[in-house]
């Protein structure tokens, strides 16, 4: 919140929806009631709204959104031309309302994330925080498998040097100035929860219990989840490439020693004819190969960073 003069912020709640006809009517009621309540409490301005983003659904999701927005002034809708996936739909929503809201909360259509903490998020925003991450208290309702794989994933990301908030998905509040910065991140392989910590600005967390999806099915089957996890790693870390370099150097080092050993054996120990001429090139050439791949990897890592063209700094305040 940049303004020193306190004013009630205009809040937007962005909801990506893909084939969500079963949950939308309930979700709409819950969210509009919540916004009306916040307006009544004077925590947000009376032109705050809920925006549903239809991510190329094949059911009647968009028809419902159109109908809702006709009936209720608090509701807006965005329709994507086809299915772009959760991250794409979310970005489309954030992008569309960057300049028409002071702060934007993103939440899934199935309301697995407890809507009650939206009020806490708004309070934190009013206290001066630009990003408020929604963090799950525990994963009671998730299966043992999902829980352990998720934990493993966070640990792996941390080890690879990617800063993500533990147990935070895409339930968060962001200020308009953060979203303006987000527009400078032009990467195509989207992993939004990795980008926000990079943007910076004052941030905090609120905690909630994650509930079960109340209707419909998860749109994130295991295959999509794995692809998403891999995207998260490959879009943020060059460490795997660096590992190739390190292995390359190690193998090259070993191959030099083995080359010396096979020469010594040839001259002093007496070897079977042909042994040295076979062994020597095998060690030497494979060592050089992995070393060269590692060197190419180092350059590739640089190219990767250049191609992303991420902002090199973000200024928060300038005093003149
Ligand atoms: N979603 C989307 N496009 C997709 C897949 C999902 O907009 O291609 C939305 C979906 O409607 C929901 C949110 O992303 O609002 C999260 O999906 P879901 O609840 O199925 O994932 P899970 O909670 O099971 O990880
Ligand atoms: Mg869900």
Q: Within a 10 A sphere around the Cβ of 151, how many other Cβ atoms? A: 13
Q: What is the mean pLDDT of residues 14-18?
A: 96
pLDDT at 175 (0 to 100): 96
Q: What is the mean pLDDT of residues 255-262?
A: 86
Alpha helices (H) along the chain = 24-40, 61-71, 86-96, 117-127, 144-159, 176-182, 192-199, 222-234, 239-264, 275-308
5 pLDDT tier (thresholds 50, 70, 90): low
Per-residue burial over 275-306, b = 16 or more CB atoms within 10 Å of its CB, e = otherwise: ebeebbeebbeebeebbeebeebeeebeeeee
Q: What is the mean pLDDT of residues 60-88?
A: 95
Ion ligand 2 — residues with CB < 5 Å: 108, 110, 112, 213
Q: What is the mean pLDDT of residues 276-289?
A: 84
pLDDT digits (tens, 9 = 90+) for 209-219: 888 778 778 77
Length of the chain: 320
pLDDT digits (tens, 9 = 90+) for 120-132: 999 999 999 999 9
Sign of CA dihedral 20, 154, 90, 220: negative
The secondary structure of 241-273 as a DSSP string is HHHHHHHHHHHHHHHHHHHHHHHHIIIII---T
Burial of 176 (0-12, 13-18, 19+ CB in 10 A): buried
The secondary structure of 1-40 as a DSSP string is ---SS--PPPEEEEEEESS-TTTHHHHHHHHHHHHHHHHH
DSSP state of 177: H
Contacts of 118 (CB under 8 A, 6+ apart): 13, 34, 38, 105, 107, 173
77-81, 154-158, 168-172: range with highest mean pLDDT: 77-81
pLDDT digits (tens, 9 = 90+) for 130-148: 999 999 887 666 678 777 8
Query: H or E segment at 51?
Result: strand 49-54
Separation of CA 214 and ligand 2 centre (Å): 9
Contact between residue 275 and residue 262 where contact means Cβ atoms under 8 Å apart = yes
Q: Measure the CA–CA gap between 227 and 233, rounded to whole angstroms.
A: 10
DSSP state of 73: T
Taking alpha carbons only, the member of 319, 145, 159, 133 closest to residue 233 is 159
pLDDT at 1 (0 to 100): 46
Q: Within a 10 A sphere around the Cβ of 184, how many other Cβ atoms? A: 11
Residue 35 pLDDT exceeds 90: yes
- Which residue among 28, 50, 88, 108 has the greatest number of ligand 1 atoms within 8 angstroms of its CB, and so is best to mutate? 108
Output the average pLDDT for the chain.
89
Separation of CA 103 and ligand 2 centre (Å): 23
DSSP state of 128: T
Q: Measure the CA–CA gap between 148 and 255, rounded to whole angstroms.
A: 40
Does the C-beta of 210 come closer than 6 Å to ligand 1?
Answer: no
Ligand 1 atom at minimal distance to the Cα of residue 218: 20
Does the C-beta of 17 come closer than 6 Å to ligand 1?
Answer: yes
């Amino acid at each position: 919140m940049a303004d020193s003069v306190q004013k009630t912020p205009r809040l937007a709640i962005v909801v990506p929806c893909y084939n969500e006809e079963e949950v939308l009517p309930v979700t709409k009621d819950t969210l509009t009631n919540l916004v009306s309540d916040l307006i009544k409490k004077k925590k947000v301005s009376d032109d705050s709204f809920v925006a549903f983003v239809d991510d190329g659904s094949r059911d009647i999701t968009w028809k419902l959104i159109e109908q809702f927005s006709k009936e209720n002034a608090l509701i807006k809708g965005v329709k994507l031309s086809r299915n772009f996936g959760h991250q794409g739909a979310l970005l489309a929503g954030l992008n569309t309302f960057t300049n028409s809201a002071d702060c934007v909360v993103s939440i899934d259509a199935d309301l697995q994330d407890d809507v009650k903490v939206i009020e806490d998020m708004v309070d934190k925003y009013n206290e001066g925080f630009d990003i408020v991450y929604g963090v799950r208290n525990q994963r009671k309702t998730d299966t043992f498998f999902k829980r352990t794989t998720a934990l493993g994933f966070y640990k792996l990301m941390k080890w690879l040097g990617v800063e993500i908030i533990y147990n935070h998905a895409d339930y968060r509040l962001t200020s308009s100035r953060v979203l303006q910065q987000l527009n400078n991140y032009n990467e195509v392989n989207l992993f939004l929860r990795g980008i926000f910590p990079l943007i910076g600005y004052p941030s905090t967390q609120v905690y909630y219990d994650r509930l079960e999806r109340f209707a419909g099915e998860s749109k994130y089957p295991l295959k999509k989840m794995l692809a998403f996890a891999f995207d998260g790693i490959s879009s943020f870390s060059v460490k795997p490439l660096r590992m190739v370099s390190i292995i390359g150097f190690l193998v090259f080092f070993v191959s030099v020693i083995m080359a010396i050993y096979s020469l010594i054996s040839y001259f002093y120990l007496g070897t079977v004819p042909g042994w040295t001429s076979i062994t020597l090139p095998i060690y030497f050439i494979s060592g050089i190969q992995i070393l060269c791949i590692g060197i190419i990897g180092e350059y590739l890592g640089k190219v990767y960073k250049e191609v992303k063209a991420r902002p090199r700094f973000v200024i928060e305040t300038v005093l003149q």
